[in-house]
Chains A and B, each alone.
Chain A
Amino acid sequence: MSTTQEQIKEDIKNNPVILFMKGSKLMPLCGFSGRVVAILNQLGANFETRNVLEDDELRQGIKEYSNWPTLPQLYINGEFIGGCDIVMQLHEEGELQKLLK
Chain B
Amino acid sequence: MIEESKIKDTIQKAIDGAEIDIQNPRGDGLHFDAIVIAKQFEGKSLMEQQRMVMEPLSALFGSSLHALSLKTYTPDRWKKVNQ
Contact = CB atoms under 8 A, between A and B. Distances in A.
Interface of A: 68-69, 80-82, 84-86, 89-90, 92-93
25 contacts: A68-B47, A68-B51, A69-B54, A69-B58, A69-B61, A80-B47, A81-B46, A81-B47, A82-B46, A82-B47, A82-B50, A84-B69, A85-B50, A85-B69, A85-B70, A85-B71, A86-B46, A86-B47, A86-B50, A89-B46, A89-B71, A90-B46, A92-B81, A93-B77, A93-B81
Interface of B: 46-47, 50-51, 54, 58, 61, 69-71, 77, 81
B61, B71, B77 — most chain A CB neighbours (10 Å): B71
Contacts of B61: 69
Main secondary structure of the interface of B (DSSP, over half): helix
Contacts of A80: 47
B29 to A, nearest CB: 19
A20 to B, nearest CB: 14
A93 B79 CA distance: 13
B55 to A, nearest CB: 10
B46, B50, B51, B61 — most chain A CB neighbours (10 Å): B46
Nearest to A80: B47
Contacts of B46: 81-82, 86, 89-90
Given A69-B58, A69-B61, A84-B69, 9 more contacts: A69-B54, A81-B47, A82-B50, A85-B50, A85-B71, A89-B46, A89-B71, A90-B46, A92-B81
